Structure 1
């Protein structure tokens, strides 16, 4: 009787390809600087994410003309992206902790690239907004894992420097966005603002496959916290819509109050649910660590100060008769100072300076700069050095603050931690834009100058939270690698 030969089902092989992280080639994994190759790959994604965030606003005029739409309708191209991104960052990090950070990062880049191509081909404004939601979902998978991949790839003593390089890549993308966007829109059209992501995304996918290490420590999840995801999304969406509506939109006061009430109730429900859930989306124990809780407040404040002037300065300078080109050139001083301090802080500052001391130094510098912005004449000659000083302070503060957060989080939860850091960054971005817009709106009767003074004072006051974060995060700083093996610099794949 003949023996029937069987083989492994093809579907199972394809399932393994799609759900398993592939190891790096031995020639790459064994290199002494393999961790820098991984960090460089993540920096590529960080650069593209910030470039895309700052480039899209340059398309508003063309979108209004091309789709015969109002400015309020066109703004949803950015708003839908931001709301989706902030809501999905923590869940994306939680999934990555369970299923692999490299795997989810590459899926995120693939989705981001496909959605970018769809955005460039969108036949209507509604379709473009829908594709931006998909693009944001891909960006959430990338951004939630970026900080985690850096901290788990770099040796413990090089984590702060690696995070500084990543922050510099973000600042560079932010600085080049207006220039690149203006050039693309004026020469090739608005569709290429999205289309340019496609070849870059394909290159990044290949690089990530070969250069990123496999996940070494994971947190197994028996059941995904869908209720927690819904409550978190409702909290962030209600809060961001409420702040946006209060910033001068033609929305009744009762509607704004309802949005904030919904956000507050959902936030309370989320916190209560996380304490009782068997597999919570965010482990409450993480937020009870002072370095994490105050560090997240500091991250929010830092990005509030970074993005607030991006709205304030062009409004002030153009109202005084400057061109958009000059306003953009002046504005570059802020991300340029950020990139310089973030990338060069390890060489410029004493190595004996602790992360907490760097946080305090950076926070003091950028808070002082924002206070000065409310006092100096609002001309390019004065604004440029003040913005550069603010950027230098942020560049010193951000890598040290993120290092304190990630060192206090076990490696098995680093994806969740990275998601929390990026969610704080997204909320700070939105608040920076909204608070400045609100201050300018409330001071409209007194003129742009008065609104600018109020905006700078608000930014200086709120950024004081970052100083409190640096002072109150009194948990001992880790002296070496964490017990679960994070940041050894050499992975198994």
Structure 2
């Protein structure tokens, strides 16, 4: 049978054929499991780093690349795979990525050296980019606009559950099966998703196949790798600073090149004119820049300033993701009825207020106040996250869901890197070579925390303005 040419109109028909209740449910389950596993594995691997170091005896810089290699490769390939999937099939790229993830997880579990593990983690990052540039796009394609917020809220809840379970379940797996057990667990989940995708996920989501922008891909990958590599340790020397500067330069070249390309990786012209999309992504970038380093800072504060043990500190820090997991389905559902700009702006405003309260932390602050404020910030993030995602995915044509999902993912990763870079810059200036437990460490830590929280509050206020500036979001009512 001759393949029917995919146009803007019959692309819509392909999507609508798959919008049955059963297909929506199975798609949601697949995407939720996928969203659970990545934050879970990331947290579990962070916990397993000491065990990996003991087994292989590697230096700390190489151990850091077990984490950084995954993040850099994942961020660098998000956009290319998002665009590739929009043209040649989202389910196809998602499934190939999941198979690739299973294979790379097995390779990580069987790694015989630290260098090999780093290489396999980089491959895992590429597989992750294939998956996460498309999972949100597939879910958005299947779920009707009027109930999209609820589905995105449930998916966000799965992410935060993974975030919460990582330290606990990951620690249990590592203690019983060693660090390799974490990768075997990842392999098992990947195989389950592969079977479910092949067996239950029907149809395909595909656009018009055009000439692929190979130079755009090369520029995009190079710019993001250099930019994020530089940001991860901006204060650690000239190499990172040059990398950051070259990354910025290549990013500018990439945008100029894409603007004049006939088949761009990113349709720059149409995106720039899409006010809701631009400001919603800007809000994402600012939100993660202001909040991502929170757990890192509070972990240091709880363990060094308040002398709380590691296990108890971990339980205290779980309050925020648990609140986010519980409330995200509710806020997602609300975004189907209330303008996302209102909910997201309110959420970032609440986060700003919570961060403002943390400016006044001291060595005498009651634990209960810290817990309540973490819950308050969790409420703010839950109000922001799902509605903002709904706004982003509802503001673009269905043929660009993969690109939209990828850009949103890039904004999230860039924001996380900026957040860590801010902390690194502050501590390098205010704490210099002070080590934990040394004289004056706690005093300088408290000064660093106050400085960081002031900056993060200012960022959140700017984020509220960006969120409010997005205007009306197109909810694609014509699809119903």
Determine which of 78, 84, 89 is the counterpart of 2:67.
Answer: 78
State whether structure 2 residue 254 is matched by structure 1 residue 270.
yes
- Supply the distance in 2 between the matched residues of 1:65 and 1:448 (Cα, whole angstroms): 29
What's the CA shift for 1:351?
6.5
What is the SS of the residue equivalent to 1:59? helix
Residue of structure 1 equivalent to 2:383: 396
Residue of structure 2 equivalent to 1:477: 473
- Supply the distance in 2 between the matched residues of 1:227 and 1:123 (Cα, whole angstroms): 36
Residue of structure 1 equivalent to 2:319: 333
Q: What CA RMSD, in Å, does the superposition of the two structures yield over aligned residues?
A: 2.1
Residue of structure 2 equivalent to 1:125: 114
Residue of structure 1 equivalent to 2:372: 385
TM-score norm. by structure 2 comes to: 0.89
What's the CA shift for 1:35?
0.8
Q: How does 1:54-453 map to 2 (within 5 A)?
A: 54-222=43-211, 224-247=212-235, 249=236, 251=237, 254-284=238-268, 285-320=270-305, 321-345=307-331, 352-377=337-362, 378-444=365-431, 446-453=443-450
Please say if residues 356 and 457 of structure 2, whose CA atoms lie closer than 8 Å, have aligned partners that are also in contact: yes
Residue segments in structure 1 that go unaligned for 5+ positions in a row = 1-7, 9-23, 489-493
- Supply the distance in 2 between the matched residues of 1:346 and 1:402 (Cα, whole angstroms): 9
Please say if residues 312 and 455 of structure 1, whose CA atoms lie closer than 8 Å, have aligned partners that are also in contact: no
Residue of structure 2 equivalent to 1:12: none
- Supply the distance in 2 between the matched residues of 1:480 and 1:412 (Cα, whole angstroms): 13
31 and 157 in structure 1: CA distance in 2 versus 1, 3 angstrom threshold: closer
TM-score norm. by structure 1 comes to: 0.87
Residue of structure 1 equivalent to 2:437: none
Please say if residues 156 and 481 of structure 1, whose CA atoms lie closer than 8 Å, have aligned partners that are also in contact: yes
Residue segments in structure 2 that go unaligned for 5+ positions in a row = 2-13, 433-442
| Residues 395-442 of structure 1: per-residue CA shift (max 9 Å, x gap) | 111111111111111101111111111111111222223322332332
| Residues 232-280 of structure 1: per-residue CA shift (max 9 Å, x gap) | 2222222222222224x3x2xx434322220121011101110111211
